[in-house]
Structure 1
Amino acid sequence: MEMRIPLSSPDIDEDDIAGVVSVLRSSRLSLGPMLGSFEQAVAEYLGITHAVAVSSGTAGLHLALLALGVGTGDEVIVPSFTFIAAANAIRYVGAQPVFVDIDASTLNLDPERVESSITARTRALLIVHTFGVPAEMDSLMQLAKRHGLLVIEDACEAIGAEYKGRRLGTFGDAGTFAFYPNKQITTGEGGMVVARDGDVAASIRSLRNQGRRKGDSWFEHSDLGYNYRISEMNCALGLSQLKRIDKILERRAAVAEEYDVLLRGSSELTLPPLSLPDRIISWFVYVVRLNARFSAAQRDVIRNSLVANGIGCGRYFAPIHLQPSYRSILLEKLHLPVTESEAERTLALPFFNHLTKAQVMEVAENLLGALHP
C-alpha cells in the first residue's frame, strides 16, 4: 500500500541528477575519478585523514572489523537496540557479539553496563550512534583505553553529528557511514569507512576490491578480498548531496522542532530530545515512545491506524538478541530490560527533508487521535 505521507523519501535535486548523468556520459562507471573525489570530500567534511567508499554501511562494518584484525575467539560489545547489520558484521568475521543494554534517555550504549560486560576475550567496542544521537564518547573511549580495546563507530545514522565539537566517526580506530535512501544524504546504495591510520585504510581499500593492494595488477590479489566496490554513479550522487549537507541537516532539525511543538503537550508520549549537552544531533528519524501503560500490541494498533490513513510509520528497532537468527547462538537466555521495554513502545513517524508543515500537522493530529480514540 502506497502511503500519501511516506515514512521516508530521498531528497534529489537537479544538480544530483546532472552529476549522475555526467558519469553515464563518460567511459568510467566504476573505480573512476568520482570515487576519489567523494572520498576526499567526506574526509575533509569529517576532519579525518582517510575515507574509503564501499557498497554499503554493512560492508563498511565488515571491512573495518577485518582490517583491525577482529576474528574468531574475540568478543565485540554492541547494543541490541540497533539495526541488525551491526551484529551481523561481527559474526561475519567469526567473532561473538556481546549485547549490552542501553541508556533510556539517549538509546545508546550505557557505559556502566559496558564495563561490567568486558571479559578477557573482549576485543572491541562497536559503538552505535542511534538515530543520529551521539553516544557518551568520553566514558566509552576511556573504557576502551583502560581495557586496551579497539573502537569501531557505527555512525551510519549520524553523519554530521558532533560530540564536544568533534564529528562522529572520527573518535575510534574506524568509523562507518551509510547512504541508503532514507539517510540524511544518499548515494542510493553505499557507505564509507574512515580511519586515521593509513595501514588500516589501505587494508580496507584492498579488501573492498577483491584483495588488490596498491601496485597489484588486475589479476593479482594480495589479500582474500570482496566485491564491496561502489559505482561512479553512486559517488557522483553522494558528492552532489554532500555539497548541501548543512542545509539538509538544518531542514531535518526544523522538521523535528515542528513535531515537538505539536506533540509536546501529550502525556502519552516521550519525545526525542531536541538537544543534549555537548552534542549536536544529526536527525536520521523521528521516533516517539509511547508511555509505559502501552503494550507492543497497543503500539501496533496505533501504527495500523496511521497506516490506514495513508501515513507511513514503523517500529525502530526490534531487539537483535530476540531475533530468530540470534536466539540460536546465544549461550544463555539474555534479558536486556531497557532495550526490551523501549523497543516495545517506539513509533517512527514520517521524516524527510521535504516533509511540509501541513504534513507534519496531519501526522501529529492522526497520532494524537489514535492515542485518544
Structure 2
Amino acid sequence: MEGIKGRIPILDLTPEVEELWDHLMAAITRVLRSGQFILGPEVEAFEREVAEYLGVRHAIGVNSGTDALVIGLRALGIGPGDEVITTPFTFFATAEAISLVGATPVFVDIDPKTFNINPELIPAAITPRTKAILPVHLYGCPADMDPILALAEEHGLKVLEDSAQAFGATYRGRKVGTLGHAGAFSFFPSKNLGAYGDGGLLVTNDDGVAEVARMLRAHGSRRKYHNEMVGYNSRLDALQAAILRVKLPHVDRWNAQRREVASRYNQLLAGIPGVVVPEISEGHVFHQYTVRILGGRRDEVQKALAEAGIGTMVYYPVPLHLLPVYGYPEGILPMAEGAAKEALSMPMFPNLSPGLLAKVVQHIKELLLE
C-alpha cells in the first residue's frame, strides 16, 4: 500500500482490517446476535485462548492496560506506604498505576542500548519500603528479566511486568508477562495485538492473585451485589474479545513481519552518521522501531520528515521523573534524559512495504548527509 494520500503514516491498520474483514464481521455479528456484551462466553473463550498462547494459568480481561497495571498491583498486595521500582522512560500509565494504588514510584535509570530499566542499578534503589519491581518491555524489547527476578527473590519483592507494548515477545523462550508474579497487557488499537477500542489483560500463574483480580474488575465482588472490597468497573467487553480472538492466531506472523521491517531499516540505515539503530535482539517484536538521532538534531529531523509526509513519534519527550506530577530535579537519571532528547520512532507496521521504507530512509540520509 503506497501510503495514505501520498503520506507514509507511522501506523496503518487498514491492511489488517481488509485482510480479516470477513472474519471480523462474522465475529461482530455473532456477538450482536448473542445479546451478551459484557464479559460472558466470548470473553471467557478469549481468556482461555490467550492463556494457552502465553503459556499461563490465568488470563483476566480488563478495560485497559492501565487498569491491568492498577489491578495487578493491588492483587499483588501493593498499596499505601509501599515503594515500587520502575523505569522513568515509559508511558505515564506505568508510574500512574503505582501512584493510583497509593504507592510511590522509585525511578531507576535505563540501559541506553535497550531503553529498558538497567538491572545493575536496581539494588541501590531498594529500601525497607520496597515491595515490588515493575519492569517495562519497552517498544517490544524484553527487559533483562533474569537479574530482576533474582533480585526480587533475594529481597522478597513482587514483580509485575508491564508488557503493554510487547504482546508475543519472548525472553529466553518464554513469553513476556509470564515471568514475574503477574503481567499486564494493553490491547489499545496500535498494539501488536490490538482491539478496536480499549482493552487490557492481566495474567498470572498464582491462583490467589487471579481470584483477587477477577473480583477487583467487577466492583470487588465474586457474586453480584456481594461486594467484598472496593474495586473497579473494568471489564473487557464481548465485542473486543471477539475481535481479539480473530486476530490472535495471526500475531506471531505479524510480529515476524515487524522484525523483518526492523532488519531492513537497520540494513539501510547502517553507516549513516548520527543515527543509532536498535539491536534486533532475541524475542524483540518491535512495537516501535526507535532510533536515536544524535547531535541535537532529533527535532529537526522529525520536523523535516513531517514536511515530507512521513509520520514519526517521540516516545517519550519527557522522562517520568521530570513531569510536574513527580517533579524530580533534572540530571539525576542521565540515560533516560538523554534518550528523551534523541529517541525517534519511525513508521512501523507488518505491511510496511520495502518501497515506503526505502523512502523513509532516503529522506533521513538526505537530511543527515547534506
> TM-score scaled by structure 1?
0.93
Per the alignment, in what secondary structure is the counterpart of residue 171 of structure 1? coil
Q: Which runs of 5+ in 1 are unaligned?
A: none
* One of 199, 202, 227 as aligned partner of 1:221: 227
Identity value in percent: 40
Give the alignment of 1:74-223 within 5 angstroms. Answer: 74-188=82-196, 189-213=198-222, 216=223, 218-223=224-229
Cα shift at 1:233: 0.6
Greater shift, 85-94 or 125-134, is seen at: 125-134
1:289 aligned to 292, 309, 327, which one?
Answer: 292
- The SS at the match of 2:24 is helix
Please state how far the C-alpha of 1:17 moved relative to its aligned partner: 3.3
Contact 2:272/2:368 (8 A) holds in 1: no
Corresponding position of 1:365: 362
Q: How does 1:238-257 map to 2 (within 5 A)?
A: 238-257=244-263
Name the CA distance, whole Å, in 1 between partners of 2:311 and 2:73. 35
Shift in Å at residue 334 of structure 1?
6.2
- What is the alpha-carbon distance in structure 2 between the residues aligned to residue 202 and residue 359 of structure 1? 47
Shift of 1:333: 6.0
Which deviations, in whole Å up to 9, do the C-alpha atoms of 1:253-310 show, x marking residues without a partner? 11111211211121221101112xxx3111201001013xx22xx3111101111111
2:239 pairs with 1:233: yes
Counterpart Cα distance in 1 of 2:5 and 2:77: 44
Measure how far apart 1:72 and its partner are: 0.8
Q: Partner letter of residue 167 of structure 2?
A: I
Amino acid of the residue matched to residue 308 of structure 1?
E
Give the number of aligned pairs: 360
Q: 1:119 to 1:334 in 2, by over 3 A?
A: farther
Q: Tell me how far 1:210 sits from its aligned partner.
A: 1.4
Residue 355 of structure 1 is matched in structure 2 by 352
* Superposed CA offset, 1:142-178 (max 9, x none): 1111111110001111111111111111111110111
Supply the AA of the counterpart residue of 1:158: A
**Would the aligned equivalents of 2:81 and 2:129 in 1 still touch at CA under 8 Å?**
yes
Measured in 1, the distance between the counterparts of 2:305 and 2:124 equals: 41
For residues 2 and 208 of structure 1, the distance between their equivalents in structure 2, rounded to whole angstroms, comes to 42
Give the superposed CA RMSD.
1.6
Cα distance in 2 between the residues matched to 1:2 and 1:312: 13
* 8 Å contact from structure 1 (residues 51, 193) kept in 2: yes
**Distance in 1 (alpha carbons) for counterparts of 2:112 and 2:357:** 26
Partner Cα distance (1:63, 1:265) in 2: 45
Q: Structure 1 CA distance, aligned partners of 2:272 and 2:118?
A: 28
Partner of 1:315: 314
Are the counterparts in 1 of residues 256 and 285 from structure 2 also a CA contact under 8 Å?
A: no
Matched AA of 1:219: Y
Within the candidate set 68, 71, 78, 1:63 is matched to 71
Q: Secondary structure at the match of 1:7?
A: coil
Contact 2:319 2:340 in 1 (8 A): yes
Task: Give the Cα separation in 2 of the matches to 1:301 and 1:107.
Answer: 22
Alignment match of 1:263 (pick from 262, 269, 290): 269
List 4+ stretches of structure 1 deviating above 6 A.
none
Instruction: Please say which of residues 335-344 and 88-97 is displaced more in the overlay.
Output: 335-344
- Give the deviation of 1:25 after TM superposition: 2.6
List gaps (5 residues or longer) in structure 2. none
